[in-house]
Amino acid sequence: MSSESMTANVEAIFGENVFTMSKMRERLPKPVYAKLRSAMQGGPELSRADADVVAKAMKDWAIEKGATHYTHWFQPLTGITAEKHDSFVTPPDEEGHMLMEFSGKELIMGEPDASSFPSGGLRSTFEARGYTTWDVTSPAFLKATSAGYTLCIPTAFCSYTGEALDKKTPLLRSMEAVNNQALRLLRLFGDTESKKVLTCVGAEQEYFLVDKDTYLKRPDLIYSGRTLFGAPAPKGQEMEDHYFGVIRERIGAYMKDLNDELWRLGVPAKTQHNEAAPAQHELAPIYENANIACDHNQIIMEAMKRVAIHHGLRCLLHEKPFAGVNGSGKHNNWSLQTDTGINLLDPGESPERNIQFLLILSCILKAVDVHADLLRQSASDVGNDHRLGENEAPPAIISVFLGAQLADVVRQLVETGAADKHIKGGVLKTGVSTLPDLVKDATDRNRTSPFAFTGNKFEFRMVGSADSIGSCNTILNAIVAEAFSDAADELEKADNLPMAVHDLLKKNFIEHQRIIFNGNGYAKEWVKEAARRGLPNIPGTVEAASALTTDKAVALFERFGIFTRSELESREEITYETYSKTINIEALTMIDMAGKQILPACMHYAGELASSVSALNAVGLSSAAETERLKEIVSLIDEMQGALDTLKKLTLKAESLKTDTIERAKKQACLYKDQVKPAMKALRTPADALEMLVDKREWPFPTYGDLMFEI
């Protein structure tokens, strides 16, 4: 490898394309910089005059780097990002000179035509006003694409009346809620220094890479992001030789460019490796503040796709691109840290810190138990329905893994007698004098748990690879804020705090210990045991959606100003709409491929076989093998044709349903789930069988083997 193709000095390029704090400090007048910093930390908003100064500095920097356009970069409810580019060009003067400009007004607020984004009834098309407003807590960055450099300003997206039309606004609101409630608890434990509690998130991202030419021959990958037909390749992932295997040269070159691009964008890309399935890989960044982590996860997904194109590859982020091998997820690592650097999920060295830790742990258990349905909902999307509960991803049942030692501490606490016997000098005896190292045991791993404690953080393993992490972190923060708030309400009234803390954490553990499960989440017995414990087992996206609008959920979100009832209803409605549209596209793609590619190819091959059989017969010979094969093919063709007709009928029926209310939208989604999906399966089965009988030269598109092994 030549030295030029080696990565430039990472320290030098890191954040090169970000308008970082240090660039702001260099380029802004001191007072403006100070005001901006204060706005970032929750202080007063910038005045228009100051915003003008910031906008000019930002524009000058961007133009020096070669930028011509800017965009308000936002995260509508499609789950991906949206952008509309405007150039800095202004009307030329009389002499034809033009100055590139960018005002504070343009920086702070934008008004994209919002009518085409999903809003679930929040904003009807005729009043299509939506506003994007600058999220000062997330830095502006330059995106390099074939369109040149574009200055991207991370923004929140709201309707004219202030309802959140995006994934970012509720996330920011939920971070505020958990911050406020956590601080109340910290104050009780004597922490007077911390000013803020931050939600920290590190999202491990799985993905597949396939060759561009192979990809472009598969309409299913092009239209739906996953294969809708395909017999298994002779080899799958059974040898476990891909996971952590040597990274192939072509993939290595891709990863190098991806890292390079991400580092320039200030994304702390850290870990890369091959994943379980052939052609599957993973990238993990270092954890960051949830809002930034969410932006960065979107940047990572976009960059993965873009860099793939430059390498003659295509990146598949779908949760289940191939049947029969693992799909992709996103492990959302989550913790709470103070601005003074203390991780609230770290048991700590002293017994006092242990009690605080145990109280926080007990609140999180309570939150997850009370709102298991919401957490489940936050990880549901139509692609993820193929993974959860399929022995490759966590089961659909929410439970918490604590590890043997921590679970034992909880058990001891639950079983101890009256509190007074166990409190001496304000120090709680947990049965183990201190907790520090015991929960950090790296061997204590459980890969089948949806929500696992891993030493000083929780890992929510259910999220789908293509999904935004905005929703799951909003829910996590909200439910934990509620449990903290309940605890603080009680403890702030207490005369004897240590005693009250002990009672409360014991109460929480007793009432919510059913959510703890350290066993094998894939085992059939767990489904029964979970039912016995009364834990919800919500099979998929359609069933999960109504969790958003239960009275319990509305009360939770309204209490902390995270969602209004109408914002929640809109999200439920969008879930049904998206579900129906996605399955509809998949069904139409199958109809297209079956009718225009697979059946004609099979019929052609059957014709050839028939001629060969009759040619043999004509000379007095006969081939039993050929006749048998012909019969089998003809019967499968008939089966396919029948399944195709049924699928066409059902798809038309589902498509024609009225969806003007949530109930009707739900009815339509159910029709897609209960009738169209099984009809798709009925079409796929004979097609995959035919693939194994028809001459490979006649098969109209690349096979699983071609896709997963030939890159």
Q: Which residues bind ligand ADP (CB under 6 A)?
A: 200-202, 204, 284-287, 333-335, 343, 454, 456-457, 459
User: Toward Mg ion, which CB reaches closer, 59 or 331?
Assistant: 331
Per partner kind, with CB cut-offs from 5 to 8 A, the member of ligand ADP, Mg ion, none near residue 456 is ligand ADP
Per partner kind, with CB cut-offs from 5 to 8 A, the member of ligand ADP, Mg ion, none near residue 251 is none
DSSP three-state, residue 366: helix
Q: Residue 116 phi/psi, 5° resolution? A: -95, 5
The nearest distance, CB 273 to ligand ADP, in angstroms, is 10
User: Toward Mg ion, which CB reaches closer, 206 or 573?
Assistant: 206
Per partner kind, with CB cut-offs from 5 to 8 A, the member of Mg ion, ligand ADP, none near residue 370 is none
CB 658 within 8 A of CB 694: no
User: Toward ligand ADP, which CB reaches closer, 272 or 685?
Assistant: 272
Of 13-21, 330-338, 491-499, 656-664, the window that binds Mg ion (rule: CB under 5 A) is: 330-338
The nearest distance, CB 225 to ligand ADP, in angstroms, is 25
User: Toward ligand ADP, which CB reaches closer, 257 or 346?
Assistant: 346
| C-beta nearest to ligand ADP: residue | 202
The nearest distance, CB 521 to ligand ADP, in angstroms, is 17
Of 30-38, 239-247, 327-335, 483-491, the window that binds Mg ion (rule: CB under 5 A) is: 327-335
Distance (Å, whole) CA 711 – CA 706:
8
Distance (Å, whole) CA 226 – CA 214:
13
Per partner kind, with CB cut-offs from 5 to 8 A, the member of Mg ion, ligand ADP, none near residue 218 is none
Per partner kind, with CB cut-offs from 5 to 8 A, the member of Mg ion, ligand ADP, none near residue 482 is none
> Secondary structure of the chain: what % helix, strand, coil (to 5)?
50, 15, 35
User: Toward ligand ADP, which CB reaches closer, 200 or 363?
Assistant: 200
CB 36 within 8 A of CB 92: no
DSSP designation for 78: T
User: Toward ligand ADP, which CB reaches closer, 107 or 284?
Assistant: 284
The nearest distance, CB 255 to ligand ADP, in angstroms, is 16
Q: What part of residues 74-113 is at the interface with Mg ion (CB under 5 A)?
A: none
> At a CB cut-off of 8 Å and minimum separation 6, what does 95 contact?
none
- Tell me the per-residue interface mask from 619 to 648 with Mg ion, x by CB under 5 A, - otherwise: ------------------------------
User: Toward Mg ion, which CB reaches closer, 108 or 379?
Assistant: 379
The nearest distance, CB 352 to ligand ADP, in angstroms, is 21
Of 170-178, 331-339, 665-673, 691-699, the window that binds Mg ion (rule: CB under 5 A) is: 331-339
Nearest Cα neighbor of 330 from 538, 523, 535, 473 is: 473
The nearest distance, CB 454 to ligand ADP, in angstroms, is 4
Per partner kind, with CB cut-offs from 5 to 8 A, the member of ligand ADP, Mg ion, none near residue 461 is none
Per partner kind, with CB cut-offs from 5 to 8 A, the member of Mg ion, ligand ADP, none near residue 287 is ligand ADP
The alpha carbons of the chain give a radius of gyration, in whole angstroms, of: 28
CB 557 within 8 A of CB 563: yes
Burial class (CB within 10 angstroms; exposed 0-12, middle 13-18, buried 19+) of 146: exposed
User: Toward ligand ADP, which CB reaches closer, 150 or 174?
Assistant: 174
The nearest distance, CB 459 to Mg ion, in angstroms, is 6
- CB atoms near residue 133 (< 10 Å): 18
> At a CB cut-off of 8 Å and minimum separation 6, what does 282 contact?
204, 205, 206, 207, 271, 272, 273, 274, 275
- CB atoms near residue 482 (< 10 Å): 23
> At a CB cut-off of 8 Å and minimum separation 6, what does 27 contact?
57, 60, 61
The nearest distance, CB 480 to ligand ADP, in angstroms, is 14
DSSP three-state, residue 67: strand
Distance (Å, whole) CA 466 – CA 539:
19
The nearest distance, CB 571 to Mg ion, in angstroms, is 28
Per partner kind, with CB cut-offs from 5 to 8 A, the member of Mg ion, ligand ADP, none near residue 17 is none
Distance (Å, whole) CA 588 – CA 224:
10
Per partner kind, with CB cut-offs from 5 to 8 A, the member of ligand ADP, Mg ion, none near residue 572 is none
Nearest Cα neighbor of 362 from 505, 185, 488 is: 505
Distance (Å, whole) CA 384 – CA 387:
5
For strands 269-274 and 130-134, give the pairing. unpaired
User: Toward ligand ADP, which CB reaches closer, 291 or 513?
Assistant: 291
Distance of CA 160 to the CA centre of its chain: 28
The nearest distance, CB 120 to Mg ion, in angstroms, is 33
The nearest distance, CB 400 to Mg ion, in angstroms, is 16
Residue 199: C-alpha distances to residues 20, 43, 176, 449 (Å): 21, 19, 9, 22
Per partner kind, with CB cut-offs from 5 to 8 A, the member of Mg ion, ligand ADP, none near residue 692 is none
The nearest distance, CB 185 to ligand ADP, in angstroms, is 18
Of 323-331, 350-358, 408-416, 468-476, the window that binds Mg ion (rule: CB under 5 A) is: 323-331
User: Toward Mg ion, which CB reaches closer, 242 or 331?
Assistant: 331
DSSP string, 63-103: HHTTEEEEEEEB-BTTSS-B---EES-----TTS-------
Per partner kind, with CB cut-offs from 5 to 8 A, the member of ligand ADP, Mg ion, none near residue 540 is none
Helix (H) or strand (E) holding 512: helix 497-512
User: Toward ligand ADP, which CB reaches closer, 266 or 321?
Assistant: 266
Per partner kind, with CB cut-offs from 5 to 8 A, the member of ligand ADP, Mg ion, none near residue 343 is ligand ADP
Distance (Å, whole) CA 321 – CA 186:
45
HSE-up of residue 314 (Cα within 13 Å, Cβ side): 18
User: Toward ligand ADP, which CB reaches closer, 285 or 395?
Assistant: 285
User: Toward Mg ion, which CB reaches closer, 117 or 458?
Assistant: 458
CB 366 within 8 A of CB 499: no
Convert 98-113 into a string of H (helix), E (strand) and C (coil): CCCCCCHHHHHEECCE
The nearest distance, CB 221 to ligand ADP, in angstroms, is 28
Q: Total residues at the site for Mg ion (CB under 5 A)?
A: 1
HSE-up of residue 337 (Cα within 13 Å, Cβ side): 17
The nearest distance, CB 331 to Mg ion, in angstroms, is 5
User: Toward Mg ion, which CB reaches closer, 442 or 619?
Assistant: 442
Whether the CA torsion 380, 384, 389, 394 is positive or negative: it is: negative
| C-beta nearest to Mg ion: residue | 331
Per partner kind, with CB cut-offs from 5 to 8 A, the member of ligand ADP, Mg ion, none near residue 286 is ligand ADP
Question: Which residue's entry shows tokens 């605080």?
Answer: 356
User: Toward Mg ion, which CB reaches closer, 476 or 602?
Assistant: 476
Of 155-163, 248-256, 325-333, 589-597, the window that binds Mg ion (rule: CB under 5 A) is: 325-333
Residue 69: C-alpha distances to residues 28, 98, 144, 444 (Å): 21, 15, 11, 50
CB 508 within 8 A of CB 366: yes
The nearest distance, CB 349 to ligand ADP, in angstroms, is 17
> Which residues of this chain interact with Mg ion, rule CB under 5 A?
331
